[in-house]
Chains A and B, each alone.
Chain A
């Protein structure tokens, strides 16, 4: 079992729709969770982080965390073609205090 798992996609949504990206993790001691966006040929950039169970909203983005289920998700409302990218889920694992990334989900927003 991989430490951080994501559906590789691609996930295709029409412009204006809600895109839902999911991530599961194996380390129960993990405390902090990050969503990075990576455009093709570019480096990852942080778009959201979440530490507590529940929802955290920032503009069109909402991160959801359920530690009991070891599940993190990212919702993108009113999806735009510019949101088309790979979304990487990253989990700060308890051992070694390091960030472990999933393989990423490719999102395609069609206009």
Chain B
């Protein structure tokens, strides 16, 4: 069974440029998460989807970040415009559903560097 797929793996952009990350969750997983992980810190939740509905986006900086999960499968996270402080690893995770006892499986992440 394929795991969570993310692309690109690495991205280097100049500040004020837009950037987008893509995630394909494990087949059959209804819940999808986007996390941000800064160096030396644990992942922090940005947004959680139940199928195509964003049910928790309270930590998403909505002035510059947006996300979508069309058809309840793949998801895209966008930043426009990017700032220096956005340099981090963006992790996508999925779980079977929102049951709090279900395991979350993480993708390899996208390492973003903003110059």
Report A's interface with B, CB cutoff 8 A: 4, 8, 31-32, 34, 42-46, 49, 51, 88, 90, 92, 96-104
Contact = CB atoms under 8 A, between A and B. Distances in A.
A29 to B, nearest CB: 11
Contacts of B58: 96
Given A32-B101, A104-B42, 20 more contacts: A8-B40, A31-B100, A42-B108, A43-B106, A43-B109, A44-B91, A44-B106, A46-B104, A49-B101, A49-B103, A88-B43, A92-B100, A96-B58, A97-B56, A99-B45, A99-B104, A100-B45, A101-B44, A102-B42, A103-B40
A90 B42 contact: yes
B107 interface: yes
A104 B38 CA distance: 12
B29 interface: no
Interface of A is mostly: strand
22 contacts: A8-B40, A31-B100, A32-B100, A43-B91, A43-B108, A44-B91, A45-B106, A46-B103, A46-B105, A88-B42, A92-B100, A97-B56, A97-B98, A98-B45, A99-B45, A99-B104, A100-B45, A101-B43, A102-B42, A103-B41, A103-B42, A104-B41
Interface in B82-108: 91, 98, 100-101, 103-108
B48 interface: yes
Contacts of B100: 31-32, 92, 97
